[in-house]
Amino acid sequence: MTRSAELLPENVDSAVDLAGIPLRNPVLTASGTFGYGAEFSPFLDLTRIGGFVAKSLTLEPRFGNPPPRIAEAPSALLNAISLENVGVEAFVREKLPALPEGVTIIASIFETSIEGYGEVAKRLTGVPRVAGLEVNASCPHVEAGGIEFGQSPSVLAELVRTVRRSTDVPLLVKLSPNVTSISEMAKVCEAEGADGISLINAVQALEVDVETRRPVLANRLGGLSGPAIRPIALRMVWQAAQAVSIPICGIGGIASAEDAVKFLLCGATAVQVGTSNYLNPAVAGEIADGIVAYAARHGFAKVAELTGALLDPVGPPQS
């Protein structure tokens, strides 16, 4: 890779290719934090970012957990929404037409059985404007006693294999951080035909109200997201990037362009912004602009050249 002197931002090519999905820049918004896209249109031009991952979809409409199902934690958010959604048919019929042209849309899918995942994938295959699918592998597998699909290598392999056979669109698998070896899980996805992986999903956590002596969430356990988990996510992205050759979409506590660049340097091709959307609904656009500014300042003619550009901690910076 040949580095240039400092560039003007307008001279930087911001485009990246994520698992066969062309993006105008590497910034997506994360599933579950951006609704179905149209909700954020008053605050952000959706064509300003690379695209977004829609709220996870099931075969039928699904109601989530009873409240309280969201709470603050130090530098983080704790939630147990339980993937409430309108169902795949309503998404195709009502949500997609409401989006402006030129927006890249990745549909997130989940179910409580492997066969269900495959059926959701089939129903989204060939749907205009759905550029790719992201398999949420952090859901409880009812038939396996409630274990997350992404916690067992054999179950994850069967899941990815089934979905891969059900669709020919670009396929990302969103991995759970609640595992012993993220590298092993990444390798499983690659071996079963995934085009890329997204990581990490929320970290399983618990918070307690000492005055009431009760968990703060009705579900007791929830998913922890936000800046508190970013170093964990960075570590897992870096480890996965050493283990597989398929592209990675980095997720976890991204609140600024600097945060996003860290994920790119650690091996991510693109990133997803999640919890920060609640604080600033325009933040994804600001992050996209900031990445380009960083690339220009450091002499990278293409944002894609930032992927894996992390330097050895020992020795002088390399040119």
Q: Which range has the worst mean pLDDT, 65-69, 239-243, 310-314? A: 310-314
The number of beta carbons lying within 10 Å of the beta carbon of residue 218 is 13
* pLDDT (0 to 100) of residue 252: 97
Is the pTM value of this prediction over 0.85?
yes
Confidence of residue 218 (pLDDT cuts 50, 70, 90): very high
Lowest-confidence region among 9-13, 62-66, 196-200: 62-66
Out of 3.90.79.10, 3.90.550.60, 3.20.20.70, 3.30.230.10, select the CATH number for domain 9-65+82-206+223-306. 3.20.20.70
Mean pLDDT for the stretch of residues 203-219: 96
Mean residue pLDDT across the chain: 94
Higher pLDDT, 68 or 144: 68
pLDDT (0 to 100) of residue 78: 96
Stretch 298-309: mean pLDDT, rounded? 98
pLDDT value at 85 more than 60: yes
146: pLDDT confidence band, cut at 50, 70 and 90? low
Query: Which residues have a catalytic role annotated?
Result: 139
With contact defined as beta carbons under 8 Å apart, do 57 and 116 qualify?
Answer: no
Q: What integer pLDDT is reported at residue 147 of this predicted model? A: 65
Mean of pLDDT values over 102-123: 96
197 pLDDT more than 90: yes
Lowest mean pLDDT among 55-59, 114-118, 149-153, 230-234: 149-153
Give CA separation, 261 vs 33, 242, 256, in Å: 21, 18, 9
What is the reported pLDDT for 2? Answer: 54
| Residue range 42-73, pLDDT digits in tens | 999 999 999 999 999 999 999 989 999 999 99
| Reported confidence tier of residue 316, pLDDT bands at 50, 70, 90 | low
The domains of the chain are located at: 9-65+82-206+223-306
Mean pLDDT for the stretch of residues 205-229: 96
pLDDT of res. 140: 60
* Banded model confidence at residue 5, pLDDT cuts 50, 70, 90: confident
pLDDT at site 181: 97
Residue 6 CA neighbour count, 13 Å, CB half: 3
Is it the case that residue 249 has pLDDT exceeding 70? yes
Residue 317 has a pLDDT of: 58
Cα gap 8→222, rounded to integer Å: 44
**pLDDT at residue 246 tops 60:** yes
